[in-house]
Amino acid sequence: MNKPCSGLFAVSLVLTTLVWPDALLARERRGAEVVITLKDRHYAVGELIAVKPDCLLILAGGDVSVDLDDIRSVRVVKKSKALLGLGCGALAGIAASAIYRSSADDVLEAIDMMGAAVLFVGSGMSVGLGSGLLAGKDKVLELEGKPELEVKKALSYLRRKARIRDFR
């Protein structure tokens, strides 16, 4: 007995989860969370508000301006995507096992396919978790001792992550 409906439902559930638009959520744009390491080994932690030509503005209890000449590195803290990757991998494994199971003709094949389902879901979760961990890895931008061109590229990247992108 074929069950194309359950496979179609699982695939549509996976696609809906992956494509759900974050832009529909009505909220104010926030800047990225940054950890700025200064040359004297002190840290400044806060939300990146704006990137000026000579300094970074962050919100850390109050507005703080950090001069570019005093910065050793900037770490952009990303949100962990491990749980999202795990869920997407599990859904993909469920969809794959549902499609695979829909070809079962008798009970013995269905029992064999239960093991295949465990394999599909387990491997999907493993791959999803690994890709989620990689996607949520923090980005570190070294500024100290770098050529001016690399510093400008880093500032351009940070500008895209700031709450106010086109600060004048």
How many Cβ atoms from other residues are within 10 Å of residue 89's Cβ? 23
Show me where the domains of the chain are located: 31-78+138-168
Give the pLDDT score at 11: 65
Q: What sign for the dihedral angle of Cα 66, 55, 139, 87?
A: positive
CATH number for the domain running over 31-78+138-168:
2.30.30
Two structure tokens written together for 163: 């709450």
pLDDT at 1: 46
Largest CA distance in the chain: 72
pLDDT in tens, 28-85: 678 889 999 898 889 889 899 988 888 888 888 888 888 888 889 999 998 888 888 8
Per-residue pLDDT at 105 exceeds 70: no
| CA distance linking residue 85 with residue 158, whole number of Å | 25
Beta strand spans in the chain (E):
33-38, 43-51, 55-60, 62-67, 71-77, 139-142
Structure pTM?
Answer: 0.63
Q: Which residue reads 């064999």 in tokens? A: 112
